[in-house]
């Protein structure tokens, strides 16, 4: 019997040697950074009627109808961003991914913006594998995550490994990600690449919510190091940086990234030679989703209830503006948008029985203006496009000066924050540590060293703003700072504020200025609050 088995095995080996070699084509379609966009939207240059998952869906169907062996993956930042997803707690996007039969969903950092409870609900309804090899911890959410999957395509085993960005703790306060840790990419891949090979993967695809950076890797994206340390990866599909990268070779690893908001659909085409046991072709591109690509009506009909509800919510009028709330000169210069945000935050805190000495906050969208006339919920979404909350810390004037020194490091870029409640004069040309010239009460009184000030910041900045504000986080985490975090969204605070006041008048008060400007235009001793009046 044993000899018979050996003879049969020998026949199979002999037959296999004479089987003709096959070249198996495999196509991977990929999306990333959809940020809840089902419908066409606007790109960063202001071009309209572009992108959206409904357009990608049309192209996905066309490729599937004309191409064999197609896999479809998403590389994260999928649910946060657009109203249709926000008002459905992310379920509209999960519903869409299920309908389009995605083979894998790799989460990004913004998946965690609403906390773990809403993310767990999305995970429970997701029909596809959720790949996040470097997300670990004791939350039950981790049970739904897998490091990789193997898909057999026409006899070829394709390994899909998923990674999130390890930078999440630098954007999200601990309460949003309690019980989770986000491990280093290289350490994680040392384990998972070997495990995927052992499981039989003949092709290795890494789908990662990280982006290639010409300037090199940072705390959030380790793509260069990954490609250098793991040349056995055949393809890296990237995300996070909102870049469109049709095709790039990094240490001979093929890299591709499909932009943002569904403006592009990524396509990777591979050919695997079964005799040589190797890839003979690797190429990629991204397909522009402009008005020439129709919207997928089947997907739109499926999501009609969610889309209609979001449209109704965004159209609700909440107030009236007597003039334009502009962002001219932001973030360096104070604008009416700054003051709208400041006053909304201060009012929301007062309603919760808390008063503050100051608010430190920046403009969140440099195209988020309010025109004179009716103000809708949709208008305020443009002013506050992110889901941030508010926290208060108690600091000494010297500690606040330290925070301002760190803030001034971003003065030449887009990350500068302004202040409400105190008068701040600074000299950006002065040596580091000496750039604050004056820090006073609104009546001109100097602050004393013994004072402790209650200052409000948004949750993103309190988490270090992606390591741009590490001193702020370090101070906030000290026990004596008595950090108190609130659950209300900044956007909700602004909407409620406008609804209560009804009539808004834009104003600028000179809360902060450079020392040069102060010499030319001294500030008055009294600085009024934003002029916002009730209709009566």
Closest CA to 240 of 267, 215, 221: 221
Tokens 């429970």, residue?
124
Q: Which two tokens stand for residue 261?
A: 């908001």
Cα 312 to chain center, whole Å? 25
Asked whether the domain spanning 317-533 has the same topology as the one spanning 20-310, the reply is no
For residue 522, what pLDDT is reported?
A: 53
Q: Which two tokens stand for residue 467?
A: 């390591």
Predicted confidence pLDDT, tens digits, the chain (536 residues): 333 333 333 333 333 344 456 899 999 999 999 999 999 999 999 999 999 999 999 999 999 999 999 999 999 999 999 999 999 999 999 999 999 999 999 999 999 999 999 999 999 999 999 999 999 998 889 999 999 999 999 999 999 999 999 999 999 999 999 999 999 999 999 999 999 999 999 999 999 999 999 888 999 999 999 999 999 999 999 999 999 999 999 999 999 999 999 999 999 999 999 999 999 999 999 999 999 999 999 999 999 999 999 999 999 999 999 999 998 888 889 999 999 999 999 999 999 999 999 999 999 888 888 999 999 999 999 999 999 999 999 999 999 999 999 999 888 888 899 999 999 999 989 998 899 999 999 988 888 888 999 999 999 999 999 999 999 999 999 999 999 999 999 999 999 999 999 999 999 999 998 876 555 555 544 444 444 333 33
For residue 14, what pLDDT is reported?
A: 36
Closest CA to 439 of 400, 411, 403: 400
For residue 21, what pLDDT is reported?
A: 64
For residue 412, what pLDDT is reported?
A: 84
Distance, CA of 524 to CA of 528 (rounded, Å): 10
pLDDT, tens digit (0-9, with 9 covering 90-100), for 169-190 = 999 999 999 999 999 999 999 9
Q: Which residues of 405-443 are buried (b: 16+ CB within 10 A; e: fewer)?
A: bbbbbbeeeebbbbbbbbbbbbeeeeeeeebbeebbebe
* Annotation: CATH topology of 20-310: Purple Acid Phosphatase; chain A, domain 2 (3.60.21)
For residue 17, what pLDDT is reported?
A: 40
DSSP letter string over 238-264?
Answer: E-SS--EEEEEEETTEEEEEE-STTSE
Distance, CA of 393 to CA of 267 (rounded, Å): 48
* Annotation: CATH topology of 317-533: 5'-nucleotidase;  domain 2 (3.90.780)
Domain ranges of the chain: 20-310, 317-533
User: Using alpha carbons only, what angle is made at residue 386 by residues 384 and 392, rounded to the nearest 5 degrees?
Assistant: 85
For residue 444, what pLDDT is reported?
A: 87
């Amino acid at each position: 019997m044993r000899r018979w088995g050996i003879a049969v095995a020998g026949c199979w080996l002999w037959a296999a040697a004479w089987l003709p070699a096959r070249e198996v084509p495999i196509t991977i379609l990929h999306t990333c950074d959809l940020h809840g966009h089902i419908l066409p939207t606007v790109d960063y240059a202001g071009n309209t009627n572009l992108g959206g998952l409904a357009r990608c869906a049309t192209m996905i169907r066309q490729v599937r109808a004309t191409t064999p062996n197609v896999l479809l993956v998403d590389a994260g930042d999928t649910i946060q961003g657009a109203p249709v997803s926000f008002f459905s707690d992310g379920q509209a996007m999960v519903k869409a991914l299920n309908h389009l039969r995605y083979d894998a969903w790799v989460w990004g950092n913004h998946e965690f913006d609403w906390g773990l409870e809403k993310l767990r609900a999305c995970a429970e309804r997701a029909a596809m594998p959720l790949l996040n090899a470097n997300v670990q911890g004791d939350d039950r959410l981790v049970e739904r995550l897998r490091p990789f999957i193997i898909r057999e395509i026409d006899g070829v085993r394709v390994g899909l490994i998923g990674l999130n960005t390890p930078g999440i703790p630098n954007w999200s306060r601990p309460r949003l990600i309690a019980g989770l840790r986000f491990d280093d990419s290289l350490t994680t891949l040392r384990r998972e690449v070997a495990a995927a090979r052992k499981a039989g993967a003949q092709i290795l695809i890494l789908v990662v919510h990280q982006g290639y950076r010409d300037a090199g890797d940072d705390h959030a994206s380790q793509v260069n190091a990954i490609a250098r340390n793991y040349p056995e990866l055949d393809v890296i599909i990237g995300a996070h940086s909102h870049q469109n990268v049709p095709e790039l070779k990094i240490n001979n690893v093929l890299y591709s990234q499909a932009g943002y908001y569904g403006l592009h659909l990524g396509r990777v085409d591979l050919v695997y030679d079964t005799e040589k046991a190797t890839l003979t072709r690797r190429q990629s591109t991204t397909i522009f989703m402009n008005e020439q690509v129709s919207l997928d009506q089947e997907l739109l009909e499926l999501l009609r209830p969610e889309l209609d509800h979001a449209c109704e919510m965004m159209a609700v009028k909440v107030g009236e503006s007597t003039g334009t709330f502009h962002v001219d000169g932001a973030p360096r210069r104070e604008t009416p948008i700054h003051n709208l945000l400041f006053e909304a935050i201060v009012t929301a805190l007062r309603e919760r029985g808390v008063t503050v000495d100051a608010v430190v906050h920046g403009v969140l969208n440099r195209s988020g203006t309010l025109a004179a006339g009716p103000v809708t919920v949709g208008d305020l979404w443009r002013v506050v496009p992110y889901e941030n909350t508010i926290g208060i810390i108690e600091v000494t004037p010297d500690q606040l000066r330290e925070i301002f020194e760190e803030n001034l490091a971003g003065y030449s870029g887009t990350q500068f924050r302004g202040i409400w409640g105190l008068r701040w004069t600074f000299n950006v040309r002065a040596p580091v540590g000496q750039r604050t010239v004056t820090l006073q009460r609104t009546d001109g009184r100097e602050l004393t060293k013994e004072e402790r000030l209650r200052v409000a910041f948004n949750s993103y900045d309190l988490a270090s703003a992606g390591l741009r504000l590490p001193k702020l986080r370090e101070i906030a985490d000290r026990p004596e700072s008595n950090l108190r975090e609130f659950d209300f969204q900044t956007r909700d605070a602004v909407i409620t504020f406008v609804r209560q006041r009804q009539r808004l008048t834009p104003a600028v008060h000179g809360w902060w200025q450079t020392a040069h400007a102060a010499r030319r235009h001294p500030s008055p001793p009294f600085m009024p609050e934003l002029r916002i009046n009730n209709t009566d």
